[in-house]
Amino acid sequence: MAVYAIGDLQGCYDPFRKILDAIKFDPDEDTLWLTGDLVNRGPKSLKTLRYVKSLGDSVITVLGNHDLHLLALAAGKVRYRNRFESLQSVFKASDCDELIDWLRHRPLAHYDKSLKTLLVHAGTHPQWSAKKTLARAVEVEEALRGDQHRVLLGKMYGNTPARWSGGLSGYKRLRFIINCLTRMRMVTKKMQLNFSHSNAPFRARDNLVPWYGVEDAAWSGTRIVFGHWSALGLIVLPDLISLDTGCVWGRQLTAVRLDKRVTRVFQVEGQA
């Protein structure tokens, strides 16, 4: 049985099917990890959602910021903008409610003990171990799956609080966790979240570092697989794998095999 991870799809159904062919993915034998952002920007969000859902237990996908935004749109908590037109097909579909409910029950983080590997969309806070990351993710997952999920989807937007504290509570706490796991790229040297920079890390101001660049981070010793940061591109290191290689921008869609000592990389052309 093989375990593969694939970067952000964002509605790029055709490249997704091509890379599954390239890795010879067998849903009866293999497991697929997806870094989130299944939808938006690309041309086939509905088809992508339906296909990923159809793969059942052979696929594990974490929620990305675009997935959460789809949930917020479905809950009536945000208005449509032109850049969300690609999501219209989801809401016109006969199985829309079923797809939204399925998406709402996806995790924000996944950990495999045998691989010592954590899957998240954007990253994890330098003060959180893998165990604490999973615990924080569960807090949000329980709220998203509960009767008050629409309230959370309305209150998750915003860049504050910027600093983690165990004393955070309520929707401020949940918003911080969501921002870490689905939006984070850079932090200050005092470990405050900073959303002003989405380009390559070397272009950032001196007081900013990528979340994974903080020394002595609590998650050290865990391999982290993530997407979200297309300007960062492909990174394959023993403890860090970055997989958003800009498929939706016409670059590549990337997959890696995780269960071998030497990580193997597969790529296909991105969305035309």
Output the tens digit of pLDDT for each of the chain's 272 residues: 899 999 999 999 999 999 999 999 999 999 999 999 999 999 999 999 999 999 999 999 999 999 999 999 999 987 766 566 788 899 999 999 999 999 999 999 999 999 999 999 999 999 999 999 999 999 999 999 999 999 999 999 999 999 999 999 999 999 999 999 999 999 998 999 999 999 999 988 889 999 999 999 999 999 999 999 999 999 999 999 999 999 999 999 999 999 988 889 999 999 97
Residue 222: the pLDDT is 97
User: Quick one: tokens of 100?
Assistant: 């939204």
Residue 242: the pLDDT is 98
pTM above 0.85, yes or no: yes
Q: How far from 64 is each of 79, 155, 215, 238, CA to CA, in Å?
A: 19, 16, 26, 24
Angle 32-34-37 (CA atoms, 0-180°, nearest 5)? 155
Residue 80: the pLDDT is 60
**Closest to 218 in 3D by CA, of 106, 134, 122, 107:** 134
Give dist(CA 17, CA 34) in Å, integer: 13
Residue 261: the pLDDT is 84
In this structure, whether the domain defined by 3-269 belongs to CATH 3.60.21.10 is answered with yes
Sign of the Cα torsion 21, 31, 230, 50 reads positive
Residue 81: the pLDDT is 62
Count Cβ atoms below 10 Å from residue 151 Cβ, excluding itself.
Answer: 14
Residue 82: the pLDDT is 59
User: Quick one: tokens of 41?
Assistant: 């920007």
- Supply the Cα-derived Rg of the chain in whole angstroms: 17
Query: Residue 233 burial (CB < 10 Å; 0-12/13-18/19+)?
Result: middle
Residue 252: the pLDDT is 98
Residue 44: the pLDDT is 95
Q: How far from 107 is each of 89, 175, 244, CA to CA, in Å?
A: 24, 15, 19
